[in-house]
Copies of this chain bind each other. A is one copy, B any other.
Amino acid sequence: MQTITAGISAELSECSYPIHVGSGILSRANLILPHLIQKKVAIVSNTTVAPLYLDKLIATLESHKIISVPIILPDGEKYKNWQTLNQIFDALLTNQCERSTTIISLGGGVIGDLAGFAAATYMRGVPFIQIPTTLLAQVDSSIGGKTGINHTLGKNMIGAFYQPRMILADSTTLDTLPKREFNSGIAEIIKYGLIRDHAFFDWLEKNMTKLVARDHDVLDEAIERSCKNKVEVVAADEREHGVRALLNLGHTFGHAIENAMGYGVWLHGEAVAAGTMLAAKLSQRMHLIESAEVERIQRIFLQAELPTIVPKLDAKKYLHLMERDKKVEGGKIRFVLLKSIGEATVCSNVPIEILTETLEDSPVNA
């Protein structure tokens, strides 16, 4: 097992917290107990994950006399809304959960976002622990304190920055993950190589076949190196005023794809992969990156069995959707572009003609 310590920039943070990564660590109560204030926790999970891992977690805690209040939600991005959040509040209040009751999320990104936002806002903030059970959540969404829900007019529009006290990433929970969902998580792993870690990108090119086959040694190393990258970026910029924006490589296009196709039709990582290819092509048109590097990027996504072409939509439709993004400032869309593999930059001055050309020239799904 590897433990990474995530520290947030001093002026904002309450504390630093550990991220434990390893195989079979879900049953190690000694990792959880030091972070509980009272002998009661609320575990937020969903109807897919709960049957697989909830009993194990409850038993682990029970053997140390910790009482669990399970809160089981329906599974899916479409439930990341007010109604589901209120289900959590109802259960917390009905079960007399207090300010010192810890909320534990057990599930993927949606569960982490919902449980984290509930923890941020129940009684104005209660302790929170993340136990991510998808690759995407383990390498990306569980780290950094972003929590929230969707609004009918936009994704993640309502939320809070709220740091967990601990993250426990047990890679054996990925064994039960459907192939498409597993591969979707790889998109975010590749992202770290692209925006700031050339050596990691090289390593991923060499090890992608094993990673896709879920070789446990390769998988654990990929998770650890991803977590370290994410932790470093977030530590430097908790509230996304600067360098953290680079983590959104491919996401402005990606969110537009998810929104246009209806949430859940394209998985997040799939949309990010295709969105990243579009960002790479835009970077090439802006004379920032060489075509040979764009081809390397395309190859690694194909190795990871991820889509590299965006769905067919009118360029105007993409533009309209992207203007709704949270990252818009003063009416200008900010794009993350690549200067090379391992180096990214934010650009809010992409000429509209180059943007439209890139959108219209991209090969499209028929």
Annotate A32-51 by CB proximity to B: 1 below 8 A, 0 otherwise: 00000010000000000000
Annotate A77-101 by CB proximity to B: 1 below 8 A, 0 otherwise: 0000010001001100110101110
Q: How far is the CA of A120 from the CA of B100 in the complex (A)?
A: 22
Decide: A89 and B157 in contact? CB cutoff 8 A: yes
Does residue A121 face the partner (Cβ distance < 8 Å to B)?
yes
Q: Closest B-chain residue to A13, C-beta based? A: B11
What is the interface residue range for chain A against chain B? 35 or more
From known contacts A11-B14, A12-B14, A153-B93, infer whether A158 and B121 are also in contact, taking CB-CB under 8 Å. Answer: yes
Does residue A122 face the partner (Cβ distance < 8 Å to B)?
yes
Decide: B89 and A124 in contact? CB cutoff 8 A: no
Q: Which residues of A, 135-180, contact B by the 8 Å Cβ criterion?
A: 146, 148, 151, 153-154, 156-161
Q: How far is the CA of A186 from the CA of B169 in the complex (A)?
A: 53
Q: How far is the CA of A94 from the CA of B124 in the complex (A)?
A: 27
Decide: B148 and A124 in contact? CB cutoff 8 A: yes
Stretch touching chain B among A279-287, A294-302, A322-330: A322-330
Decide: A161 and B12 in contact? CB cutoff 8 A: no
Decide: A160 and B38 in contact? CB cutoff 8 A: no
Q: How far is the CA of A124 from the CA of B329 in the complex (A)?
A: 15
Copies of this chain in the oligomer:
2
Decide: A120 and B160 in contact? CB cutoff 8 A: yes
Decide: A326 and B160 in contact? CB cutoff 8 A: no
Decide: A122 and B158 in contact? CB cutoff 8 A: yes
Decide: B329 and A154 in contact? CB cutoff 8 A: no
Q: Closest B-chain residue to A148, C-beta based? A: B124
Decide: B158 and A330 in contact? CB cutoff 8 A: no
Set of chain B residues within 8 Å of A123, measured between Cβ atoms: 157, 159, 326
Set of chain B residues within 8 Å of A122, measured between Cβ atoms: 157-158
Q: Which of A99, A124, A160, A329 has the most CB of B within 10 A?
A: A124
Does residue A264 face the partner (Cβ distance < 8 Å to B)?
no
Decide: B14 and A121 in contact? CB cutoff 8 A: no
Q: Closest B-chain residue to A161, C-beta based? A: B124
Set of chain B residues within 8 Å of A225, measured between Cβ atoms: none
Decide: A121 and B326 in contact? CB cutoff 8 A: no
Q: How far is the CA of A122 from the CA of B239 in the complex (A)?
A: 14
Does residue A125 face the partner (Cβ distance < 8 Å to B)?
yes
Annotate A240-277 by CB proximity to B: 1 below 8 A, 0 otherwise: 00000000000000000000000000000000000000
**Min distance, Cβ A213 to any Cβ of chain B, angstroms:** 37
Set of chain B residues within 8 Å of A146, measured between Cβ atoms: 124
**Min distance, Cβ A77 to any Cβ of chain B, angstroms:** 18
Decide: B12 and A125 in contact? CB cutoff 8 A: no
Set of chain B residues within 8 Å of A329, measured between Cβ atoms: 98-100
Q: How far is the CA of A133 from the CA of B362 in the complex (A)?
A: 55
6 A–B pairs (Cβ distance < 8 Å), ordered by A = A38-B330, A82-B86, A89-B157, A90-B153, A96-B324, A99-B327
